Amino acid sequence: MANHKSALKRIRRNEAVRLRNKYQHKTMRNALRKLRLEEDKQAALAQLPTVISMIDRLAKRNIIHNNKASNLKSKLTKAVASL
């Protein structure tokens, strides 16, 4: 167990950050799933900017890797265009 006050605070902080990251990552995955299952092109085009901005935010905060974000955006854009 940690002996210093700052180490105890760090443990609490890490847990809070971990839970926040987990929530945001799961929210993004659900949005991706919803967009991929969309069959109406207009609805998919309406959802695409929000999902892309969500991916960009996660990449900016290092929750997902920048290359993963680029790959996801590319694949989603292709999928929506092919509807």
Find how far residue 18's CA is from the centre of its chain. Answer: 14
Instruction: Report the pLDDT value the prediction gives residue 70, as an integer from 0 to 100.
Output: 97
Query: How is domain 5-81 classified at the architecture level of CATH?
Result: Up-down Bundle (1.20)
Instruction: Report the pLDDT value the prediction gives residue 74, as an integer from 0 to 100.
Output: 96
Instruction: Report the pLDDT value the prediction gives residue 2, as an integer from 0 to 100.
Output: 75
Q: Over range 20-43, report the average pLDDT.
A: 94
Task: Express as a percent the part of the chain with pLDDT over 70.
Answer: 99
Instruction: Report the pLDDT value the prediction gives residue 83, as an integer from 0 to 100.
Output: 87
Q: What's the pTM value of the predicted model, to 2 decimals? A: 0.82
Instruction: Tell me the two tokens of residue 24.
Output: 């945001």
Residue with tokens 């085009």: 45
| Domain regions of the chain by residue span | 5-81
Instruction: Tell me the two tokens of residue 79.
Output: 């999928």
